[in-house]
Amino acid sequence: MPHSLSSRSPRSLTLAGLALAAGAALTLTACGGASSAADGGSGDTLKVVATTTQLTDFAAQVGGDDIELTGLLPAGASAHHFDPTPADLLALGQADVLVVNGAGLETFVDSAVEASGFTGTVITAADGIDEALAKEITAESGEEAGHDHDHATEESATDEHAAEDHTADEHADHDHAAEDHATDEHAEEEHDHDHGDLNPHIWTSPRFAEGMVTEIAAGFAAADPDHADAFTERADAYVAQLQDLDTWIAAQFERVPEADRVIVSGHDSLGYYLHDYGIAFAGSILPSFEDNAEPSAADIDALVASIRERGVRAIFVESSMSPKLAQTIAQEAGVEVVDAESLYADSLGVADSGADTYLDATIHNTRLILESWGAEAEELPDTLQS
């Protein structure tokens, strides 16, 4: 299966070095005989590696005790600028299944797969959504915020990432047949960081999350048919919770006057969520899908003007971003910055943060936005109580 890279970039050279370290670690592990998800574990249990914190949570909900799960990204980390460690490559090389977001999010994956020697099955969670519809709403969201989403020339703070396009979404039912997503599908993901016209932050919508979870369950069932019924049962139960979450969120925002439902975020990460619940997008601090891009002076001036014109009450900062630029813009625009309790978009929170699961993080985000508009969230349904 080909996993060729377009060039030997500094990142690919770094991963090559990590591969040597991972190989050495593998040799030591074989001699030591220890057993864990990262060093082989039980031979009969499906070994799963997931990229983002959200996918790791989804995989845990679906897999339960029938999988050995390793999450690559730690809490607070962003997939936009992630480099796997030797331990990550070791876990990946021994995995049966790799769960990725897709939609051009994980630019590191092709190199990591090549460096680790992974030969298992790739489950692309984005296959569970309506991609054509997502692209359509991406374009509409970009127009709403005054972005053309041609970010190929933007400079990144730590990497040279070309930006992807921005979206929101109204979802249809999806057909989630059990498919064995072979690793050669990964070649379809461009490694030159040109991610096209789709906002990759598809998990921010609970409705899209339903499709992602169903896709993961189908992939697990194909990879481990003996536990297919258990995977399906857990996925169905979790999807029911996601549907209850969606209903609860929609009811909360319906109580807020439409004119007040306007938001400015740290970067273009919440488009699907905003569209689902009728929230207008006045722009973002970083007019990009990346959370480490650098806005121009013209971008900042345009955002300040939009904040004043549309009566935005607060600027929100995501947990993976520094609040400094937001504070400067807010001072100029005369609005509040909500950064003490950040929104969780690119990553879930750390343990005991109250946002360390997808459900909790999405509930947290909803409550925080409501409070900035002077509204208070109603009690959660019993199915969503911790």
- The domain that holds 85 is classified in CATH as 3.40.50.1980
Residues 210 and 127 in one domain: yes
- Does the pLDDT value for residue 30 go beyond 60? no
Angle between helices 10-32 and 109-116 (to 10 degrees): 40
Same domain, 28 and 168: yes
374: left (phi over 0), alpha (psi -120 to 50) or beta: left
Judgement on whether residues 185 and 209 belong to the same structural domain of the protein: yes
Do 62 and 90 fall into the same domain?
Answer: yes
pLDDT at 340 over 60: yes
CA distance 81 to 76: 12
Q: Residue 2 falls within a domain, yes or no?
A: no
Are 227 and 291 in the same domain?
Answer: no
Q: Among 244, 277, 296, which residue terminates a domain?
A: 244
Provide the percentage of residues in the chain whose pLDDT is more than 90: 51
Residue 90 lies in a domain: yes
Beta-bridged to residue 54, according to DSSP, are none
Q: Does residue 149 form part of some domain? A: no
Cα-based distances in Å from 85 to 24, 91, 92, 116, 201: 13, 10, 11, 11, 24
Task: Tell me which of 30-44, 98-112, 154-168 is least confident.
Answer: 154-168
CB-based contacts of 108, cutoff 8 Å, min separation 6: 11, 15, 79, 82, 83, 84
Cβ(337)–Cβ(315) below 8 Å: yes
Q: Which of 244, 269, 286 is the last residue of a domain?
A: 244
Query: How many angstroms separate the CA atoms of 358 and 57, rounded?
Result: 7
DSSP string of 311-364?
T--EEEEETTS-SHHHHHHHHHHT-EEEEEEEE-SSSPPPTTSS-SSHHHHHHH
Task: Give the HSE-up count for residue 125: Cα atoms under 13 Å, Cβ half-sphere.
Answer: 28
**Position 233 confidence tier, pLDDT thresholds 50, 70, 90:** very high
- Whole-angstrom distance between the N-terminal and C-terminal Cα of the chain? 44
Count up the domains in the chain and report the number: 2
Q: Comparing 291 with 265, which gets the higher pLDDT?
A: 265
273 and 319 both lie in a single domain: yes
257 vs 191, residue with greater confidence: 257
Helix (H) / strand (E) containing 255: none
pLDDT for position 160:
35
Looking at the structure, tell me whether residues 202 and 281 fall in a common domain.
Answer: no
Q: What does pLDDT average to over the chain?
A: 78
> Considering Cα of 124, then 127, then 128, then 130, what sign does the dihedral take?
positive
pLDDT in tens, 119-142: 999 999 999 999 988 887 778 776
- Local confidence band at 53 (pLDDT 50, 70, 90 cut-offs): very high
What pLDDT does residue 196 have?
54
Three-class HEC string of 117-169: CCCCEEEEHHHHCCHHHHHHHHHHHHHHHCCCCCCCCCCECCCCCCCCCCCCC
- Percentage of the chain with pLDDT > 70? 72
Domain, as residue range, for 321: 253-384
- Which residue among 244, 270, 302 closes a domain? 244
Q: Are residues 292 and 222 in the same domain?
A: no
Q: Are residues 257 and 226 part of one domain?
A: no
Domain match, 62 and 211 both: yes
**Residue 138 belongs to some domain of the structure:** no
Separation of alpha carbons 178 and 56, rounded Å? 20
On whether residue 148 sits in a domain, the answer given is no
Of residues 117 and 285, more confidence is placed in 117
117/60 same-domain check: yes
- Helix residue spans in the chain (DSSP H): 10-32, 53-63, 86-94, 109-116, 131-145, 206-223, 228-254, 271-276, 297-310, 324-333, 358-372
In the predicted structure, residue 5 carries a pLDDT above the cut 50: no
Assess if residue 213 is contained within a domain.
Answer: yes
